[in-house]
């Protein structure tokens, strides 16, 4: 297996403000902009590999869409969910096809080896399996395990 390559930048303040504007209320722990992963010091050590995996899934999405089409599709989804479905910014953040793919597969550390190109579009535009509360339960179980 090829070790994933990325440059990690600790940016607690930046992430706080970034996530204020993107709907996660200052709670974002990591962000991906290939080849950089921005992280904070508030990540539980048990969750770290899964968060990194989440961001690496975003890398794959960004690269295959040349960033622009992923961004364009996220903007269309944002407009649709906030404008027509009356969702909050936070609900919209979770339901984006690219976040659904990342949250749905981040706990499977082998996922990227078998991922098909454009999975966020092929699988997650209509199918939105990730419910935030279930994610939080899973995260809590992992953090509490030794």
Closer to Zn ion by Cβ: residue 33 or 80: 33
Residue number with CB closer to Zn ion (18 or 141)? 18
Which range touches Zn ion (CB under 5 A), out of 64-72, 76-84, 88-96, 99-107? Answer: 99-107
Nearer to Zn ion, 81 or 146 (CB): 81
Nearest to Zn ion of 56, 102 (CB atom)? 102
CA distance linking residue 12 with residue 41, whole number of Å: 7
Asked if residue 37 binds Zn ion (CB under 5 A), the reply is no
Closest approach, Cβ 146 to Zn ion, in A, equals 27
The residue from 56, 102, 106, 130 that contacts Zn ion (CB under 5 A) is: 102
| CB-nearest residue to Zn ion | 102
Tell me the pairing of strands 30-33 and 7-10.
unpaired
Torsion, Cα 90 30 59 140, to 10 degrees, reads -80
Q: Where are the beta strands (DSSP E) in the chain?
A: 7-10, 30-33, 36-39
Asked if 31 interacts with Zn ion (CB under 5 A), we say no
Segment near Zn ion (CB under 5 A); pick from 19-27, 38-46, 98-106, 137-145: 98-106
User: How many whole angstroms separate alpha carbon 123 and alpha carbon 102?
Assistant: 12
Is residue 130 close enough to count as binding Zn ion by CB under 5 A? no
Contacts of 116 (CB under 8 A, 6+ apart): 122
For Zn ion, the closer of residues 95 and 102 by Cβ is 102
Q: How far out from the chain centre does Cα 71 lie?
A: 13
Cβ 121 vs Cβ 73: under 8 Å: yes
Summarize as ranges the residues that interact with Zn ion (CB under 5 A): 99, 102
């Amino acid at each position: 297996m090829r070790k994933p390559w990325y440059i990690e930048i600790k940016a607690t303040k930046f992430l706080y403000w970034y996530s204020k504007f993107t709907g996660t209320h200052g709670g974002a722990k990591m962000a991906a902009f290939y080849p950089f992963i921005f992280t904070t010091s508030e990540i539980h050590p048990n969750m770290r590999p899964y968060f990194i995996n989440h961001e690496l899934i975003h890398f794959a999405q960004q690269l295959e869409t040349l960033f622009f089409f992923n961004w364009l599709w996220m903007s269309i989804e944002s407009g649709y969910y906030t404008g027509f479905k009356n969702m909050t910014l936070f609900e919209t953040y979770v339901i984006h096809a690219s976040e659904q793919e990342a949250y749905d597969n981040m706990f499977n550390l082998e996922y990227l080896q078998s991922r098909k190109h454009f999975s966020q579009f092929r699988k997650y535009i209509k199918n939105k399996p990730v419910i935030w509360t279930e994610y939080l339960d899973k995260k809590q179980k992992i953090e509490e395990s030794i």
